[in-house]
Structure 1
């Protein structure tokens, strides 16, 4: 049984778009921007979400990771709220690619396992093969090359039909590249030969990535002349299917060509190829550009220009430090933007049983909120009752830790968590969660802004009036709270949390130990 939402578009089917999303990137982006408004106008929400995932896939290949991740997370939240297995599986497959790009191998593997686990045997072979590829890539990143190759071979077996040719050639490239990473020369060269033969039999030409993979494999076994012959046409923009290319694929091929030519002793040709490579690489702040700089050092040394090689090597190391620092900062920023407080990776075999409770307090955690708040807001959007939230933060909590000890601080958090849980349990469907550190969230379904503000004010008083002296001595314990409501404030989960966060900061700025709600007349009482 095919997944819900499969339709044939006037020019290409959605299945075709999904299968080729990671290649023919520019054409895919154009198709998505043209078809997404059509799906919206037609009210085909499932098709719209599938198109948005295709757009995210192509956007990832263009290096816009945060933008792609935001799209995927939005679709994932929509799918989980409706238990739409197909879109949940696809979302996990794309998140695996996102975390692979960010260098987070643990989360890459976690989402790849989820993507494979969520497969339905009735779904088309090309899609199932693509999910197996994701798992194989994640295993390869971790150095589990035999396990990775097994996944890639399974993907190949699923794609022997003509309508899966794109995914098949990608899986063949995966096999060859896996053997290159494992430095198993004969296996890598055999896999490269197999890949090129299949591409030729299909009547196609290899893309830049496939050329680079094959040349790397041939280099391992000393087939340098064949590698150069295969790569040389790219200098003139020939010999490759440019639709099968990553955004820096040409630079990678030119770097590989210069390296092969240097190893063959063809130093003048290597210099010309490397000059072209470095010219193209200037616009890329990437590892490929850095590799081109190091190849320049190798070439200078090969020509006997050791003084310039030495100075170039020093410059290379300086640029490498800068790039590595920039990548660390970029990865950290991306991870914060995508997940804010993403929890450490769990055992991949237990991903379906990930805890939704905070270990210290026993309250629900951020993961639970990210999964369930979108569903609750969707019910509001579809005509359900008002929903309010309260974002709580302990006032001067650092003073408790510094003055009393972190053990005392933990006990304060536990006691406040109990008060918050008791408060939320007074509301049918109420939720209490710890978002991280000293920040908590209360979700109050069916409660309007005025009543929610009064409810949270009572919670504030409960905390302020509690007997803290036996635990914290003279250090007071109070909370500031920001309240927001849907649909009056926002219907988007992130926007609603942001609105509550703004009011929380208003409470802090106006003296702490108070509640700031949606209306100017809301309760703002200092204890």
Structure 2
């Protein structure tokens, strides 16, 4: 019996060590799926979750790009730009906090995306307008109130031939560029057809599809 107790006592630190190792590994994997600056999921993690979400029913896919971000960096420094990214992520989370099942992510640079369950299409203008208002509200940095603009494009997946994330992102990207060309705000992609191609997820500056916009 004494030998058995001794063996258990010796194995306890090893088991404890493996348990902590497992916790540390899970934390590392979780961190790898998060953008270190914004705290939002990375693009790869977002795409995996968003594909599954779209298969469950109608969603609105949102692409958002900050306006005036380069000017903010040039005038106030990169630390201010980093704070703008963090503030935008916080605003995005806040705007979607009451939309259960929403998934938001940072695509890179000053571009963000989200997939939001669409229960009532009539509420979409309120969602996009509220998001725009949250993101463009001033944030505090270095004792100053700073702000950026935002251009938002949205695509309703039920308007597409099939619930394709890649197609929805392209349509939302086109709508976002239409909003940007009009001075910011938001726009909803009109119809399922792509009237113009995009390059690396970006428009080529050509006329785009029609939509609805709110400043």
Query: How far 1:496 sits from its partner (Å)?
Result: 0.7
Query: How far 1:353 sits from its partner (Å)?
Result: 2.7
Q: 5+ residue gaps in structure 2?
A: 1-24, 191-209
> CA separation in 1, counterparts of 2:43 and 2:143?
27
> CA separation in 2, counterparts of 1:447 and 1:497?
20
TM, length-normalised to structure 1:
0.30
Q: What is the RMSD of the two structures over their aligned residues, measured on CA atoms? A: 2.5
Query: How far 1:467 sits from its partner (Å)?
Result: 2.8
- Spell out, residue by residue over 1:487-521, the C-alpha distance to the aligned partner (whole angstroms, 9 max, x if none): 21352111110000000000111112x00013566
- SS of the residue corresponding to residue 390 of structure 1 reads strand
Select which of 460, 469, 477 maps to 2:148: 477
- SS of the residue corresponding to residue 159 of structure 2 reads coil
> CA separation in 1, counterparts of 2:124 and 2:92?
14
Are the structure 2 counterparts of residues 501 and 471 from structure 1 closer, same or farther at C-alpha, using a change threshold of 3 Å? farther
Asked if residue 362 in structure 1 is aligned to residue 39 in structure 2, the reply is yes
The alignment covers a number of residue pairs equal to: 169
Tell me what 1:412 maps to. 84
Asked if residue 373 in structure 1 is aligned to residue 50 in structure 2, the reply is yes
Are the structure 2 counterparts of residues 455 and 482 from structure 1 closer, same or farther at C-alpha, using a change threshold of 3 Å? same
**What pairs with 1:2-41 in structure 2 (closer than 5 Å)?**
none
Tell me what 1:454 maps to. 126
The higher-RCO structure (CA 8 Å, 6+ apart) is 2
Tell me what 1:525 maps to. 214
Asked if residue 467 in structure 1 is aligned to residue 138 in structure 2, the reply is yes
Asked if residue 427 in structure 1 is aligned to residue 99 in structure 2, the reply is yes
Are the structure 2 counterparts of residues 379 and 510 from structure 1 closer, same or farther at C-alpha, using a change threshold of 3 Å? same
Query: How far 1:473 sits from its partner (Å)?
Result: 5.2
Tell me what 2:69 maps to. 397
- Spell out, residue by residue over 1:361-385, the C-alpha distance to the aligned partner (whole angstroms, 9 max, x if none): 11111011121121122223xxxxx
Instruction: Determine which structure has more spread, i.e. the larger CA radius of gyration.
Output: 1
TM, length-normalised to structure 2:
0.70
- Spell out, residue by residue over 1:188-247, the C-alpha distance to the aligned partner (whole angstroms, 9 max, x if none): xxxxxxxxxxxxxxxxxxxxxxxxxxxxxxxxxxxxxxxxxxxxxxxxxxxxxxxxxxxx
Greater strand fraction, Structure 1 or Structure 2: 2
Asked if residue 353 in structure 1 is aligned to residue 29 in structure 2, the reply is yes
Write out the 4+ residue segments of structure 1 that deviate beyond 6 Å after TM superposition. none
- Spell out, residue by residue over 1:271-311, the C-alpha distance to the aligned partner (whole angstroms, 9 max, x if none): xxxxxxxxxxxxxxxxxxxxxxxxxxxxxxxxxxxxxxxxx
Asked if residue 498 in structure 1 is aligned to residue 174 in structure 2, the reply is no
- Spell out, residue by residue over 1:443-485, the C-alpha distance to the aligned partner (whole angstroms, 9 max, x if none): 1113444423320111111222x23475595864111100001
> CA separation in 2, counterparts of 1:399 and 1:424?
28
Select which of 406, 415, 438 maps to 2:110: 438
